[in-house]
Structure 1
Amino acid sequence: MNEQLNYGDDYKYIPATSIFSGVGQAVTEDIYAYTIQIVNICYVGNENKWSLIDAGMPKSADKIIEEAENRFGPNARPEAIVLTHGHFDHVGAIIELIQHWNVPVYAHELEIPYLTGQKKYPEPDSTVDGGLVARMSPYFPNEPIQLGSHVQPLPSDHTVPSLSGWKWIHTPGHSPGHVSFFREEDRALIAGDAFITVRQDELFKVLVQEKEITGPPRYFTTDWDLARESVFKLACLNPTIAVTGHGVPVKGQEFKNQLEKLAKNFEDMAKPDYGKYLN
């Protein structure tokens, strides 16, 4: 394909990081979570067949490729890149990765317009109840990117083309086409930003990665009713282990209890007291 792939005009490196940046963790035998500055990506599979979930921060392609080769061997190449959603910190290296690996990209059909230059996400809410990161959010890239025909909608039957045994679950609120991924066999969940395990709007907690199961990042979440429904939907799956877009992986009974508590008390635990996207 000779299509012109482009990031938005506001695409740039964001100088934000955490103590776990550059650290990878084998969450299960075939789920490897890797932190790039303040966001997590997942390598799912083994050296014979694997896929990448999300594409990290801007200017991070070399690190993503290097970590793939460290895990799977020289010239390792995924079957596909699958996106939870299209915010800048989840697609930051997507074009370079497409060009290097020449693999398809999959996303929910409602997210495709933001990945093909048709729609711009709503402006982040710097006024929302939260900390310094929320105040910084107007400086984050927010223009649509252009992936052309390289990006395809996820199948309507909820299968994930490159990930056998996994299904995608529509979990909107943080973005219109946000999805999470669930595997029934071991009840593993890759939640994206439907819920996270750190207060992403507070700078100190982001830096030290203080664990706290909470709702999606406040400054980019535009529909809090849908966000609440999405957390409830995921809690009903009764996952035993989860990797989220921000924060540390979580597992076990304590995690299950905390996710259930979040689902029951979303208004108090996750929803901000004020902000321009509140009803």
Structure 2
Amino acid sequence: MIKKNKVNFFQVAQGVWGMKLMFVNVYMIANRRGVKKGWVLVDTGPQGSAGKIIAMAEALFGLGTRPSAIILTHGHSDHSGSLEALLKHWKVPVYAHEYELPYLTGKSSYPPVDPTVGGGIMSLFSVLFRTKPLKLGNKVKAIEEGRIAELPEWRIIYTPGHSPGHISLFFPLNTTLIAGDAFVTTKAESAIYILSSLKKLSGPPRYITPDWKAAKASVIKLAGLHPRIAATGHGPLMRGRELQVALDELAENFDELAVPTSGRYIKQPAVADETGVLYVPPFKANRKFIAAMIITSIAAGFIIARQIRKAVA
């Protein structure tokens, strides 16, 4: 049984709400029109978040509510970690892009993370992130670029780079954008920024972006929509001129502002299609990588020791 926790959430726009779960955001969208009225959940946060998501839904839409669908911007563990628990509570369809399905149906692991990209301790801790696939079988359906019946007023936009099948959602009426991790509004590599929700519009998280050329094209595509509200996978909301200036700058100077100076995927991207990963560039251990592993091991040991002390106290 899922424990429903008291939650704090925020309004993104009319009919759109968000909630921060540890260091990642999930969103709920009310469908105002169409034959399938109700609401849709976008992403499911890290593992252990199901109770908070259900509590938020019931605070917004009433006791016993359930979404008409769950949409994943992508399947990385911080965005899909509570999906299996939620599907035990809600029998609803799950949608993701065709190129994301292999990582949700057990057919392929994601390309390996790259902890050597720098930028902060979150890059080092990325070696602990799950890249193995979920095994949802026919519970997840392919979503096409365009629209779906559960959200007829919203556009589904294919924005690969951070993952092979990454998508974003756009509401043209008030130009609200849910960007997933195509770009973020904090420094995802910095624990201080990401845990404190400090605002800084940035490219996708460097340590788990395997195709920088595609990521750049996706940011340029989203900047061309001229959104007035941006809700991202990591970081606080950005609006108005602050958003437009920062997003235009990122699109125009993506190579300098977003792409790391070194790393596994700088010269060659990982290659994937609807069957999963086809090619991953070779990785050569260097001093930066060895140092990263040492620091990560020490930090992980400290965290484990801290948990043990709490357990026996």
Same fold flag (TM > 0.5): yes
Higher helix fraction (1 or 2): 2
Q: Which letter does structure 2 place at the counterpart of 1:278? A: I
In structure 2, the CA distance between the partners of 1:142 and 1:22, relative to structure 1 (3 Å rule), is farther
| Structure 2: segments with no counterpart, 5+ residues | 1-5, 268-313
Does residue 217 (structure 1) correspond to residue 205 (structure 2)? The answer is: yes
Match of 1:28 among 3, 9, 13: 13
| Separation in 2, partners of 1:259, 1:72 | 33
1:256 CA drift (Å): 0.7
| Structure 1: segments with no counterpart, 5+ residues | 1-20
| RMSD (Å), alpha carbons | 1.4
Deviations 1:28-53 (A, max 9, x none): 12010111110000010069610000
Deviations 1:182-209 (A, max 9, x none): 1111111000000000101111111221
**Equivalence for 1:163:** 151
Q: Secondary structure at the match of 1:199?
A: coil
**Equivalence for 1:184:** 172
Aligned length: 258
Does residue 41 (structure 1) correspond to residue 29 (structure 2)? The answer is: no
Does residue 51 (structure 1) correspond to residue 40 (structure 2)? The answer is: yes
Match of 1:203 among 183, 188, 191: 191
Q: What percent of counterpart residues are identical?
A: 44
Q: Which letter does structure 2 place at the counterpart of 1:24? A: F
TM-score for both structures, normalised by structure 1: 0.90
Structure 1 segment 92-131 matched on structure 2, within 5 A: 92-131=81-120
**Equivalence for 2:217:** 229
CA contact (8 A) 2:122 2:191 kept: yes
Deviations 1:44-71 (A, max 9, x none): 0069610000011111111111111111
1:155 CA drift (Å): 3.1
| Separation in 1, partners of 2:96, 2:149 | 11
Q: Which letter does structure 2 place at the counterpart of 1:95? A: E
| Separation in 2, partners of 1:117, 1:131 | 31
CA contact (8 A) 2:75 2:104 kept: yes
1:161 CA drift (Å): 3.0
Match of 1:77 among 62, 66, 74: 66
TM-score for both structures, normalised by structure 2: 0.80
Match of 1:173 among 161, 167, 176: 161
